[in-house]
Structure 1
Amino acid sequence: MKRSKINYLIDKAHSLAETFRVYLPDFAFLTVEDWQQQNCDEWREVLDLQLGWDITDFGRGDFNQMGLTLLTLRNGSLRHVGYSKPYAEKMLQIQQYQQTPWHFHMYKMEDIVNRGGGDLCMQFVWSTPDGDFDRQKRVEVSVDGRRRCIKPGETLVLKPGQGVCLPPQLYHRFWAEKTFVLGWEISMINDDQHDNHFLEPGGRFPAVEEDTPAKWLLCSEYARLR
C-alpha cells in the first residue's frame, strides 16, 4: 500500500469515528512527529502490545475490494510479562462492499458487533484439522444470546446493534452491504503474529510504498521508535 493511502485512510477514520460520536484514546491522535516528542517508556504498553492503527489490504493489493481499517484499543499478551489482561477490543471500519477474506483463529474467541451504518454480512464454515473447509458440518453461533444454526457458507446479516460470538477454528469472512459499517471486536487476547489462519495465502500487515512522508505510524511500525 502507498503511504499516501495510509495517511488518507487514518485521516478518514478519525472523521468517521467523529461522525458516529465515537471518542478515541490519546494514542489514536499521535502523529509521527508527536511520537518523536514522547517519552516512550510512558507508552510502553501501547508499543509492546501494538495498540493503535492497523490498515491492511491482506496482501491482495486492492484495499477498496479487500481490506480493513482497525484501531486496537486494548489487548493483553501471553508473551510479554506484566500484561495479564485476558481480553482485547478493536474498532473496525468497513467500507461499502469491502471484504475481509476467509480466516479463522486457532485460540481466540471473539464477538463481532455492528455498531452502526449499513448491514454487516458474514459467512461461516468450520475448519478441518488440516485447515480446509468442512462443508458438511452445520454452524451454530450465538447472535446476542440467541442460538442460530445455519448452513456452511450461508450469509448471516447483522443489523446495527447486533453482534455474533465466534468460537475458535470457525472460518469467517464479512463485508459491508450497501454502505459503510462501523464494527467492533471484543475478544480474548489478540495475537495477529501467530493466531490467524487464512484460507488463501496473503499478508496480515501491508508492504508499504513510501511515496510520501508518514503522518501516522501503523501499530506494526512502532519498532521505528525504539
Structure 2
Amino acid sequence: MKRSRINEIIQEADTFIRSHGYSLPPFAYFSPEELRAADHDQIKTRRMGWDITDYGEGAFDEMGLFLFTTRNGLNKDLGQKSAMLYAEKIMISRDNQLSPMHRHDIKVEDIINRGGGDLVLKLYMADASGGIDHDARVEVMCDGLPRSVEAGGLLKLKPGESVTLFPNNWHAFWGEGGDVLIGEVSTVNDDMTDNIFAKPIGRFANVEEDEAPLHLLVSDYDTLL
C-alpha cells in the first residue's frame, strides 16, 4: 500500500469513528516525531495504535481492515493472577470488504457491531489438527445466548449485537449495507504470532513510502522508532 493511501484511510477512519461518538486516546494523534520523543515504550511494547492492512495483497477495498488497538496486555503475563490479560480494539470493516478466513491459537474475542451496517461472519469449527472442519456445526454465544450455524454458515450481527469466538472458531467477516464500526474485546492480542490464516497471506501491509506518514502504524514501530 502507498503511504499516501494509508494516510487517507487514517483520516477517513477518524471521521467515521467520531461520527459514532467514539473518541480515540490522545496517543492516537501523536506525530511520528512526537511518538519518538515521548515516553512511548509501553505503546510500542504492547503494539498499541494504528493498524491498516491489505494482508499484503494490494487490494484494500476488496480485502482489508482498519484497526486501532487502544489497550493490550503482554503474552508473558498470561496465567498470572494480577496482570493485564486483556486487549481492546476499534475496527472498521467496509461494505463488502473481506477480512479473510482465520483463527487464533490463544485469543478469545468478543466481536461487537458498534454501529453502521450489518457485520456478517462466515464460520467454521477447527478440526483435530487445527484445520477447517467442513462438516461440524458451529456453536457460538451471542450476547449470552447460544447460536448455531452449519459449517460455512453466515452469522449476521446488527448494531449492538456481538459474538464470542474461541480459538477453535474459524471466521471471516465483512460489512453489509454500509461500513461497520467494530469493537473487539479479547484476551491479550498478539498479531505477530497469533493469526492463522486459511490461505498463505500476510498479516500486515507492504508499505510504499511515497510520502511522510501522518501517524505511525504498529507495523512501523520496529523500523521507524
Instruction: Give the TM bin, normalised by the shorter chain.
Output: over 0.9
3-state SS of paired residue (1:11):
helix
3-state SS of paired residue (1:141):
strand
Structure 1 residue runs of 5 or longer lacking an equivalent are: none
What is the Cα deviation at residue 96 of structure 1? 1.1
Provide the rounded CA distance (Å) in 2 between the counterparts of 1:109 and 1:203.
21
Aligned residues: 223
The percentage of aligned residue pairs carrying the same residue is 42
| 1:167-207 C-alpha deviation (Å, 9 max, x unpaired) | 11210010000201000100000011111100001110111
Letter in 1 for 2:25: P
Task: Verify the 8 A CA contact 1:131 1:199 in the aligned structure 2.
Answer: no
Query: Does 1:14 pair with 2:9?
Result: no
Query: Does 1:55 pair with 2:31?
Result: no
Letter in 2 for 1:65: E
Letter in 2 for 1:77: L
Letter in 1 for 2:188: I
3-state SS of paired residue (1:35):
helix
Matches within 5 A, 1:152-163: 152-163=151-162
Task: Verify the 8 A CA contact 2:93 2:175 in the aligned structure 1.
Answer: yes
3-state SS of paired residue (2:215):
coil
What is the Cα deviation at residue 132 of structure 1? 2.6
Provide the rounded CA distance (Å) in 1 between the counterparts of 2:5 and 2:116.
23
| 1:86-109 C-alpha deviation (Å, 9 max, x unpaired) | 000000111111110000001111
3-state SS of paired residue (1:215):
coil
Provide the rounded CA distance (Å) in 2 between the counterparts of 1:59 and 1:130.
26
After superposition, the CA RMSD in angstroms is: 1.8
Which residue pairs with 1:65 in the alignment? Answer: 62
Provide the rounded CA distance (Å) in 2 between the counterparts of 1:132 and 1:223.
31
Which residue pairs with 1:145 in the alignment? Answer: 144
Task: Verify the 8 A CA contact 1:107 1:169 in the aligned structure 2.
Answer: no
Which residue pairs with 1:176 in the alignment? Answer: 175
| 1:107-165 C-alpha deviation (Å, 9 max, x unpaired) | 11100000000100011101223343211211100010110111011111100000000
Of 40, 44, 52, 1:43 maps to 40
Which residue pairs with 2:103 in the alignment? Answer: 104
| 1:44-86 C-alpha deviation (Å, 9 max, x unpaired) | 2111111000000012210000000000000011248999310
TM-score of the pair, normalised by structure 2:
0.94
Provide the rounded CA distance (Å) in 2 between the counterparts of 1:225 and 1:44.
14
